[in-house]
Amino acid sequence: MTTASRKRVLSGMQPSGLMHLGNYLGALENWKALQENYDCFFFVADWHALSTNYADTSRIREFVRELLIDWLAAGIDPKRSTVFIQSHIPEHAVLHLLLSMMVPVSWLERNPTYKEKQDEIKEKDLSTYGFLGYPVLQAADILLYKPDFVPVGKDQLPHLELTRELARRFNDIYKKSVFPEPKEHLTKFPKVLGTDGRKMSKSYGNTINLSDAEPVVRQKLKTMVTDPARVRRTDPGNPDVCPVYEFHKIYSPQELQAQINKDCRTAAIGCIDCKKLVADKMVERMAPMWDARAALTSHPSRIDEIVQDGSARAEKVAKATLAEVNEAMKI
């Protein structure tokens, strides 16, 4: 199937820190699969990182670079996907500005993430125009490339619905069908817990990063919390409440999972041995990525070439869409 005949998919990721297993298992594995059947546009959303990190931008360039290395090492193929950086395409900012002229403030205030994030991130001042309006930039990111599908989890559906509402509003005001309404490509995200048993998150400092070396991964797993009720080695455990067992579900074959489940409940295996077994399986899966990372890091010009090529392809699409927008608005 040629690229031209494929349906288009668009997705992005913020460079707000080093990429961890939650990001990989929740998004990147899905992106890799989408490459097989869709014309994929994947971008680093560096401007979005400013919505919560505007006061400290010292590591954004580093995180952009690391994110790109992780994507490529994990199997995102620049020959099959358009890989680019949001800020390299100024049309994102222009469309964001134009859409912001017509979006009702009430639409932004009802965004569930707006209040949730403010409650969650108390140490930062998020009462900014940029944070309130980031769904408009998100809509511009999407509509600029007229994708057929956007990969989302159920919790992200309100964001996509706002994008569709803005597309309808623009088409209605200017009496031209410039923007098709993108459909959701619903993604099931696996349950990925951090080393402290909570959801794996940069803000919790409980992550296993794709860039972590093997000894670091093993050490993090060694210190990971287990069944809190299992105090002594001779105590039977409960895999259903053990964060380490969640990794067995992801990385270990069915037979090993069943054996661990049984042995844990009868105290035939201790937590240290259980962690070593899952560490071995995790390292086995991560080793090819580490090798690919090392190769990319030793050839930095290769990353620059990929971004340059991807940006050129993205820019062509973005400029064509913005020309349609300007024509519809008569500006």
Reply yes or no on whether 199 is catalytic.
yes
**Considering 154, 191, 199, 319, which one is annotated as catalytic?**
199
What is the structure's pLDDT at 131? 87
pTM attached to this predicted model: 0.92
Q: Name the token pair of 29.
A: 């594995």
Burial, 132: exposed, middle or buried (Cβ in 10 Å; 0-12, 13-18, 19+)?
middle
pLDDT at 154: 80
Half-sphere CA count of 218, side-chain side, radius 13 A: 12
74-119 per-position pLDDT tens digit:
999 999 999 999 999 999 999 999 999 999 999 998 877 766 666 5
Instruction: Give how far the C-alpha of residue 97 lies from the chain's centroid of Cα atoms, to the nearest Å.
Output: 25
| Rounded-to-integer distance, Cα 79 and Cα 82, Å | 8
Q: Side chain identity at 262, as an amino acid letter?
A: K
Query: What ranges in 193-299 are assigned the alpha helix state H?
Result: 214-222, 243-251, 254-265, 271-297
Sheet with 39-44: list strands edge to edge: 81-85, 39-44, 8-13, 149-152, 183-186
Picking from 306, 205, 249, 250, the residue whose alpha carbon sits closest to that of residue 24 is 250
Low-confidence ranges of the chain (pLDDT < 70): 1-4, 114-123
Q: Which residues contact residue 206 at a Cβ distance below 8 angstroms, ignoring those fewer than 6 apart?
A: 194, 195, 196, 198, 200
Report yes or no: 136 and 92 within 8 Å, Cβ to Cβ.
no
CA distance 70 to 89: 22
Predicted confidence (pLDDT) per residue in 54-80, tens digit? 989 999 999 999 999 999 999 999 999
- In angstroms, rounded to a whole number, what is the distance separating the alpha carbons of residues 106 and 99? 15
Which of 90, 87, 91 lies closest to 47 in space, CA to CA? Answer: 87
Active site includes 122? no
* Helix (H) and strand (E) counts in the chain: 15, 5
Euclidean distance between CA atoms 331 and 235, whole angstroms: 73
Q: Which helix (H) or strand (E) holds 52?
A: helix 46-53
Q: Which residues pair with 10 in a beta bridge?
A: 41
- Neighbour-count burial of 311, counting CB atoms closer than 10 A to its CB (0-12 exposed, 13-18 middle, 19+ buried): buried
Distance CA 178, CA 193 (A): 42
Q: How far is CA 130 from the centre of its chain?
A: 20
Helix, strand, coil percentages, rounded to 5, for the chain:
60, 10, 30
Does an H or E element contain 298, and which? none
Q: What is the spatial distance between Cα 141 and Cα 95, in angstroms, rounded to a whole number?
A: 8
Unique residue bearing structure tokens 């400013």: 50
Report the C-alpha gap between 256 and 263 in whole angstroms.
10
Are 12 and 42 in contact by the 8 Å Cβ rule? The answer is yes
Out of 7, 176, 202, 281, the active site residue is 202
Domains, the chain, with CATH or none: 3-192+300-329 (3.40.50.620), 212-293 (1.10.240.10)
* CA separation for the pair 145, 154 (Å, rounded): 22
